[in-house]
Amino acid sequence: MLPDEFLSVAKTLSTQTAPSGEPRYRTITGRCYYAAYLATRDAICVRYGFPPDSYLKHELVCNTLAAVDTDPDVRKLGNLLSTLKLSRRHADYTLKKALDETISDDALVDAAAAIALVDAVKDRLPRIEPAAR
């Protein structure tokens, strides 16, 4: 399965009527983060010859990319991932705080932008060592 397929599911959920409400928006938001994260992880694994499905710590991926001052595109990818990850945390854990459709719509836009950036910067992504699960 390709990471983009999570984004396809998220897009489908966003355009169909059921499920509805917050569960729908929260699910879209979570799938968008994983689509972007997995696309980034796969690109790093391919570039550095790591085994497929290697575990790269989420926070480490976000922070490492977001700190690459010499490459605005890589840094933007890191920032998009960080924002998506924060939204995913909100979507999955902070249920008392409302999450409206705007957040899931933002996640769709940001995940698509992140995946496009992954393709553009795949040969410039920094090395991030896999970790034990």
Question: Where do contacts with other proteins occur on this chain (CB under 8 A)?
Answer: 20-22, 25, 57-59, 62-63, 66-67, 69, 72, 75-76, 78-80, 82-83, 85-87, 89, 92-93, 98-102, 106, 113
Between 12 and 21, CB nearer to other proteins: 21
* Secondary structure (DSSP) of 11-51: HHHHHSSSS-HHHHHHHHHHHHHHHHHHHHHHHHHHHHTPP
Between 2 and 35, CB nearer to other proteins: 35
In the block, residue with structure tokens 């998506």:
84
Helix, strand, or coil here: 48? helix
Shortest CB 15 distance to other proteins, Å = 14
Angle at 73 between CA 90 and CA 46, to 5 degrees: 85
Between 49 and 97, CB nearer to other proteins: 97
6 touches 14 (CB < 8 A):
no
Question: Which DSSP letter does residue 127 get?
Answer: P
Shortest CB 94 distance to other proteins, Å = 10
Between 45 and 113, CB nearer to other proteins: 113
- Cα separation, 44 vs 61, in Å, equals 10
Shortest CB 115 distance to other proteins, Å = 14
Shortest CB 131 distance to other proteins, Å = 11
Which amino acid belongs to residue 124? R
